[in-house]
């Protein structure tokens, strides 16, 4: 059967899928007497008189790329874990906990562009994270471009803040200090009584 050039790419894609599924299958590239290029897994001597077996090449087909989707499971303490590696493998459970995928992280208080009355200069910052923080990770608070603190909590207290405008960001970091997710930057304005 002759395959027209317009359908060649579709046929080739299908052939590659079949070839990746059956490793022993060979793919032949040949040209018929009308100049049409044919890709097939049928040896050229069985294609008929229109094909010259001397014009046939065996096509090297690379292994297909594969994708293994993540699996989600619930840990005993209710945390949602996204598992990429096999937990039965050595170190798999620790690896699974470091594979938590965080959907959201945001500073909930103060709101962006909020004026905060703090005559003593103490400002509370609260954050919200989904899903819950993995024990292997920490939340880092950065204020005005400087790391303020990091730990397992989503509540921070800034002490003796100067009057004026400040920015804050919270990030989830892994064991190496690499950020996994960061919140949008929040700008807030500290109002203090002038003495």
| DSSP structure string for 72-112 | EEE-TTS-EEEE-S-TTSTTHHHHHHTT----EEEEEESPT
3-state secondary structure of 20: helix
- Of 185, 170, 183, 168, give the one whose Cα is nearest residue 104: 183
**Domain end point (choices 101, 126, 152):** 101
Domain boundaries, position 72: 67-101
The Cα 107–Cα 123 span in angstroms is 13
Q: What is the pLDDT of residue 20?
A: 47
Stretches in the chain below the pLDDT threshold 50: 1-3, 5-6, 19-20, 22-23, 84-98
Domain count, the chain: 3
Buried (b) or exposed (e) across 47-61, using 16+ Cβ within 10 A? Answer: beeebeeeebeeeeb
- In a shared domain, residues 132 and 179: yes
Q: What is the pLDDT of residue 170?
A: 94
- The two tokens of residue 74 are 């619930």
- In a shared domain, residues 20 and 90: no
- In a shared domain, residues 91 and 120: no
Q: What is the pLDDT of residue 105?
A: 92
Strand partners, 57: 29
- In a shared domain, residues 111 and 179: yes
Q: What is the pLDDT of residue 169?
A: 95
What CATH number did the domain enclosing 122 receive?
2.60.40.10
Q: What is the pLDDT of residue 56?
A: 75
- In a shared domain, residues 91 and 55: no
- In a shared domain, residues 185 and 109: yes
Q: What is the pLDDT of residue 87?
A: 46
- In a shared domain, residues 96 and 130: no
For residue 46, which phi and psi values (nearest 5 degrees)?
-100, 5
Let me know: does 38 contact 59? Beta carbons within 8 Å. Answer: no
Q: What is the pLDDT of residue 194?
A: 72
The Cα 68–Cα 109 span in angstroms is 39
Q: What is the pLDDT of residue 57?
A: 75
Q: What is the pLDDT of residue 52?
A: 67
pLDDT digits (tens, 9 = 90+) for 128-169: 999 899 888 999 999 999 999 999 999 999 999 999 999 999
């Amino acid at each position: 059967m002759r395959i027209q050039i317009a359908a060649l790419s579709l046929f080739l894609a299908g052939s590659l899928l079949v070839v990746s599924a059956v490793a022993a299958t060979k793919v032949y590239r040949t040209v018929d007497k009308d100049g049409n290029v044919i890709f097939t897994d049928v040896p050229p001597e069985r294609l008929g008189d229109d094909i010259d077996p001397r014009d046939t090449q065996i096509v090297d087909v690379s292994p297909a790329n594969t994708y293994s989707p993540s699996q989600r499971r619930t840990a005993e303490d209710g945390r949602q874990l996204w598992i990429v590696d096999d937990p039965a493998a050595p170190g798999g459970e620790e690896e699974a906990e470091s594979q938590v995928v965080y959907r959201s992280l945001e500073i909930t208080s103060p709101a962006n562009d909020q004026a905060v009355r703090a005559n003593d200069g103490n400002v509370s910052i609260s954050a919200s994270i989904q899903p819950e923080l993995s024990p292997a990770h920490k939340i880092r608070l950065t204020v005005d471009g400087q790391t303020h603190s990091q730990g397992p909590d989503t509540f921070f207290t800034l002490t003796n803040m100067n009057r004026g405008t400040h920015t804050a960001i919270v990030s989830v970091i892994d064991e190496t200090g690499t950020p996994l997710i960061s919140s949008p930057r929040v700008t807030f304005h500290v109002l203090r009584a002038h003495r």
